[in-house]
């Protein structure tokens, strides 16, 4: 995930309240919610692995459709569905939401594709690189000044990509696509003033027609969900909206109660879980050069995290 967890996760757009960021002792329920959210996001790989019999694009179609159904039901129950459409129209957010929806689709699709193709470690690489991508966007797009320690971490990340490119025998383009889509999505989310559920709902609305088209297209084939899914496959597919929304709700709850200095480092549990699953559970090849490459990424992330925590504590003391 990105160096700012609240900005980078594709399902998030919430800023902690001042009371949470000023707290010196992390709220226990907030920690539980945050850890639960990240564990669910990490182990969602197992969920998609259980559905590897089906085409990735077909699964994305069902994920979008089930997410729309679930989110629409939740928002309608809360009486917030009509107000969402009014706000989108009044604030002229459709263009930004549509762009965010496209990036969301790219991120979801690339993730499911790498898991489907048995490249879970490459998925982990993508989410390890994402924080460095966010930092690059901050410098190049938002014209933020880069400090020497950030430059060192960025160069380490670049070195890692070079090492892993040599190891894979090709540029890890899927991992880079995942990282780029995630980082750019985080940038757009800063410009969409919506709560997490409303934000995700508005984005999936843009994707629901293509999603239904994908479902119809793949239903012609013998190995499609419609024609070959067993009982448990159907249950898992029907739960794809829940799999999408529940971690989001937990993350939103955590972001209200925890400062970024606590919530931020938690984000690295997701790619770490993916790395361990790919290596230990799914027995993907890990050469010494890949360990070196990932080691460089981990060093870069530790540098960024420690620097962020120190700066946050210094600011807290000065204020």
pLDDT above 70 covers a percentage of the chain that reads 87
Taking each helix axis as running N to C, give the angle between helix 94-116 and helix 81-90, from 0 to 180 degrees, rounded to the nearest 10. Answer: 120
The residue among 36, 9, 30 whose CA lies nearest residue 258 is 30
pLDDT of residue 272: 85
Task: Provide, rounded to the nearest whole percent, the portion of the chain with pLDDT above 90.
Answer: 26
Main-chain phi, psi angles of 6, to 5 degrees:
-70, -25
The mean-pLDDT minimum among 51-60, 127-136, 224-233, 251-260 falls in 251-260
All structural domains of the chain with their residue ranges: 5-318
Cα 73 versus chain centre, distance = 23
Predicted local confidence at residue 226, as pLDDT: 93
Residue 76, judged by CB atoms within 10 A of its CB (0-12, 13-18, 19+), counts as exposed
Region 121-146 average pLDDT: 79
Q: Is the pLDDT of residue 6 over 50?
A: no
Lowest mean pLDDT: which of 13-27, 69-83, 94-108, 248-262?
13-27
| Predicted pLDDT of residue 312 | 67
Give residue 316's pLDDT. Answer: 66
Q: Is 12 helix (H, G, I), strand (E, B) or coil?
A: coil
pTM: 0.79
How confident is residue 299, by pLDDT bands cut at 50, 70 and 90?
Answer: confident
- The full length of the chain comes to 319
Residue 14: pLDDT band with limits 50, 70, 90: very low
Residue with tokens 């003391």: 317
**For the residues 101-125, what does the mean pLDDT come to?**
90
Whole-angstrom Cα Rg for the chain: 20
Higher pLDDT, 123 or 21: 123
Taking a C-beta distance cutoff of 8 angstroms, is the pair 3, 134 a contact? yes
Give the span between the Cα atoms of 47 and 41, in whole angstroms: 10
Predicted confidence at residue 102, as pLDDT, reads 93
Give whichever of 34-43, 72-81, 191-200, 226-235 has the largest mean pLDDT: 226-235
pLDDT in tens, 136-170: 787 777 777 777 887 887 788 788 878 878 887 78
pLDDT at residue 211 above 90?
A: yes
Give the helix ranges, DSSP H, for the chain. 5-8, 18-22, 28-49, 56-77, 81-90, 94-116, 120-140, 148-168, 173-189, 196-218, 225-228, 231-238, 240-257, 260-266, 269-276, 288-318
Query: Could you read off the pLDDT of 61-89 as tens digits, one per residue?
Result: 999 999 999 999 999 998 888 888 888 87
Query: Of 39-48, 162-171, 274-283, where does mean pLDDT reach its minimum?
Result: 162-171
């Amino acid at each position: 995930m990105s160096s700012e967890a609240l900005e980078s996760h594709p399902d998030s757009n919430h800023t902690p309240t001042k009371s949470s960021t000023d707290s010196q002792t992390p709220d226990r329920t907030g920690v539980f919610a945050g850890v639960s959210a990240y564990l669910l996001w990490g182990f969602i790989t197992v969920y998609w692995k259980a559905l590897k019999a089906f085409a990735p694009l077909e699964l994305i179609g069902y994920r979008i459709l089930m997410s729309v159904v679930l989110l629409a039901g939740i928002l309608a129950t809360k009486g917030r569905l009509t107000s969402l459409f009014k706000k989108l129209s009044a604030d002229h957010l459709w263009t930004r939401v549509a762009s965010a929806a496209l990036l969301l689709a790219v991120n979801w699709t690339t993730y499911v594709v790498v898991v489907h193709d048995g490249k879970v470690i490459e998925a982990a690489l993508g989410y390890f690189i994402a924080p460095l991508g966010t930092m690059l966007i901050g410098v190049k797009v938002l014209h933020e000044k880069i400090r020497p320690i950030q430059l060192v971490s960025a160069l380490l990340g670049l070195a890692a990509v070079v090492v892993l490119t040599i190891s894979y025998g090709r540029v890890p383009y899927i991992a880079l696509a995942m990282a780029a889509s995630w980082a750019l999505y985080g940038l757009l989310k800063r410009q969409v003033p919506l709560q997490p559920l409303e934000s995700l709902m508005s984005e999936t609305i843009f994707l629901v027609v293509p999603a239904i088209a994908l479902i119809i297209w793949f239903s012609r084939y013998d190995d499609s969900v419609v024609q070959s899914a067993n009982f448990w496959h159907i249950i898992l597919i029907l739960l794809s909206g829940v799999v999408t929304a529940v971690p989001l709700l937990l993350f939103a709850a955590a972001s209200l109660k925890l400062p970024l200095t606590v919530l931020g480092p938690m984000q690295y549990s997701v790619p770490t879980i993916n790395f361990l699953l790919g290596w230990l559970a799914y027995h993907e090849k890990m050469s010494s050069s890949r360990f070196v490459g990932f080691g460089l990424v981990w060093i870069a992330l530790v540098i960024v995290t420690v620097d962020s925590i120190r700066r946050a504590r210094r600011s807290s003391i000065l204020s």
